[in-house]
């Protein structure tokens, strides 16, 4: 929360000077202390939450990059009508323990152009891929590995 308070302080002030940073740090620390007392949160837990937020931001950037790259792959399929498209319906299991992270993976697959998660039953994913190239290695993709790293860091 401290970093959030500090960022808001700097944004609302519209400039960065040494005095504003010092005053902002003091006010942010005071707000952090008050928020931890009111909500019954240990400051150590708040630091963990902040680190977790950065890890999810890394995952989000990975998703944005993949969405961008796959959109060009789909564009290539659309603009080359002579190329034969071979759609696939694939099933795979992912070693992801929590339902939240499985849903995150399913939504990430759906947000990536060329693939749609058709169903999710336990740890079994049903994915429709626009072409064979989109289906290759989807069960052991970078998304799956990154979510497994997130789960390992959370200790869930």
Most confident residue range from 16-20, 35-39, 41-45: 16-20
- Distances from the Cα of 61 to the Cα of 32, 64, 127, angstroms: 28, 5, 22
Give backbone dihedrals phi and psi of 136, rounded to 5 degrees, phi first: -65, 120
Architecture of 43-154 per CATH? 2-Layer Sandwich (3.30)
Alpha-helical runs (H) found in 40-141: 43-79, 99-111, 132-135
Contact 127, 115 (CB under 8 A): yes
Between 146 and 152, where is the model more confident?
Answer: 146
Contact 113, 67 (CB under 8 A): yes
CA distance 104 to 33: 32
Considering the chain, what percentage of its residues have pLDDT values greater than 70? 97
Q: pLDDT per residue over 90-149, tens digit each?
A: 999 988 889 989 999 999 999 999 999 999 998 899 999 998 888 888 888 888 888 888
Between 42 and 59, where is the model more confident?
Answer: 59
State the average pLDDT for the chain: 87
Give backbone dihedrals phi and psi of 11, rounded to 5 degrees, phi first: -65, -45
- What is the location of CATH 3.30.70 in the chain? 43-154
Residue 154 has pLDDT above 70, yes or no: no
The structure's pTM equals 0.71
For the chain, the first-to-last Cα distance in angstroms comes to 23
């Amino acid at each position: 929360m401290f970093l959030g308070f500090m960022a808001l302080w700097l944004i609302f002030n519209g400039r960065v000077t040494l005095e504003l940073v010092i005053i902002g740090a003091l006010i942010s620390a005071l707000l952090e202390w008050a928020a931890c007392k009111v909500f019954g949160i240990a400051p150590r837990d708040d630091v963990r939450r902040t680190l977790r937020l950065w890890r999810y931001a890394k995952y989000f950037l990975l998703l944005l990059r993949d969405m961008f790259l796959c959109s060009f792959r789909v564009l290539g399929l659309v603009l080359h009508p002579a190329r034969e498209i071979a759609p696939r319906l694939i099933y795979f299991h992912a070693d992801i323990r929590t339902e939240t992270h499985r849903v995150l993976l399913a939504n990430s697959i759906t947000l990536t152009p060329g693939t749609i998660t058709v169903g999710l039953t336990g740890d079994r994913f049903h994915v429709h891929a626009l072409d064979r190239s989109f289906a290759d290695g989807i069960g052991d993709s970078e998304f799956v590995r990154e979510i497994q790293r997130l789960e390992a860091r959370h200790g869930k």
